[in-house]
Amino acid sequence: MKKQNIITLFVVLFVSVIAASVVTAVDNEKSNFLFVLSSDNSNNVTRCFQFAKIAHSKGYKVNIFLIDDAVIWAIPGKAKGIKALTGDSADDYLDYLVKNSVPISV
């Protein structure tokens, strides 16, 4: 009977160690962010680029896809002078994304 208790204890400890290792590995891994922009609205593009910049600056892998009406933002210089209602500019965030080689696909 004592031998069975020892074996059971060993199995429980072994499973606990494995489970703790898996949880630690998952917690240490950064998630990826995919931003899909489908609008040519200046507020939407500014927020999309802002959130992508924030996620990237915190160490997350970021990708941006421009689809539908948003493909217009792929034109170089298009974001110059575009401001959201809050006053911040899409171009400020886009400059960071381009400088840091964040993939922007059309």
Q: How many CA atoms lie within 13 A of 47 on its CB side?
A: 11
Instruction: Read off the pLDDT of residues 62-101 as tens digits, 9 standing for 90 and up.
Output: 999 999 999 988 888 887 877 888 888 888 898 999 999 9
**Could you count the other beta carbons within 10 Å of the beta carbon of residue 89?**
19
* pTM of the predicted protein model: 0.69
Mean pLDDT of 42-65: 93
Domain coordinates in residue numbering, the chain? 1-29, 31-105
Q: Is 93 exposed, middle or buried (0-12, 13-18, 19+ CB in 10 A)?
A: buried
